[in-house]
Chains A and B, each alone.
Chain A
Amino acid sequence: MVVLVGLWEVVVRSRVVDFQFLPAPSAVARGTGRLLTSGELVANLLHTLQVTLLGWAIAALLGIGLGLLLGLSETAWRYSMASIEVMRAIPPVSLVPVALLVFGFSIRMELTIIVFVSAWPVLVNAIHGVRGLQSELLDVTRTLRFSRPATIRKVILPAALPSIVVGLRLAMSLSLVLAVVAEMIGNPSGLGSALIRAQQALRPEEMFAYVLTIGMLGVALNTAFRFLSLRALPSLAGDPGNAG
């Protein structure tokens, strides 16, 4: 990493490659400093973070709720499977213009896109978690004479949890991507929109500052999620299929 950055600095400064708008790392650092002191970067970061988390939370609730319903009810599953497959196949970005038209330049438009896209992995993983339950465990609950609610609470839900956690993690990274895309095209606030404005103002060092910020935000969200999920569910660590 350090070597790469050093190489980049040398190559740009020595004009071995000469792009008009490729800043050297030192310039990017200066740009970042400027954005930090003016408070712009923090404000945009907070906006994107807030929208990502809010959208992710709504997607999680929707996905888990519907996923459990579809996983547990054979009828609900049969009637909705086809629609789910079709709707899931829509490329997320193609929804941005639609949402823009319906909701205008607003936070609602951003949230709608995030929720619509990130709910899928949660939903699908919840369904698979519930339906993928090993039949042995169901035999166990039957021979121990569990009621249906006890079976769901004590066996089906905990068994589906690792799969749901995987879905939640996928949804987290999707939420950030979709938040940035929505901001670039639609909602005029947040990191995505700041990135576009920096581009239009021909300030490459600020663009790179925002790109780096988005990347670091992604890493931070992922790390935080892993930390918290292992904290909450220590048994995930022991389950070899769900480590990492």
Chain B
Amino acid sequence: MSAVKRQAFAPNWIARGLWLALFVYVVYALGILDVSWDRFVRGLDNGARFLGRMFPPDFGAKKLDLLWEGMVESFQIAVLSTAAGVILSLPLGLLAARNLMPAWVAWSARGIIALCRSFHPVITAILFVKAVGFGALAGVLALILASMGFISKLFAEAIEEMSLKQVEAVRATGAGFFNVLIMGVLPQVNARAIGFCAYQLDSNLRNSTMVGIVGGGGIGAALFTAYQRFDYDFVLTILLAIIAVIMVSEVVSGQLRKAFQ
């Protein structure tokens, strides 16, 4: 028998060390978060009771009316925040494109975008609820900020990646700044921009289910009320409705993106 043991795949000791470090961190973090087996088991017990109260979902006529109202409002919030967000994002994204704008303009526009992106919609929703009161408007304003952060960033990146040859060609004909934009820049980024918008509509619909928890209107408000009243069967109805709507909207936004490819 040969003494050399052949191994098809040699062990990677550095990777093993990193895995071990990860394991140690997990144990440490579980300790910090006060996660114990005992608590987990008790939780499972609670969870069984919780699920028991959720089933069967409540499809009473009165509840369905509430559900419909909330869903319609969520949809309105999503549509309006996307539309306004897109309208505001186009100039902001253009200002942030480093290949078309002087550096100081681009960097200040990028600062605004970073500010929009860094706060979670729920936090901006809280601030807007204080400023404009409870209701759908606060939700719309919060999601407009979130949309601006997302769309302008991607729009600016799309502009930076486009080919400058067409821009130069249009400029060579003596076109002014706006003509260059309309004839040289927009045709190149249009399809991608519509793709972002479709994606953002989808994402705003998801987030519009959440701003209601802090008073920003929509289905989230109905969900939170039902939760606080321990109407868990209605909570399940709302959750199922949300999942169904998001599934449909994912398909629709996928089709939309395909139509504009």
Interaction A to B: no
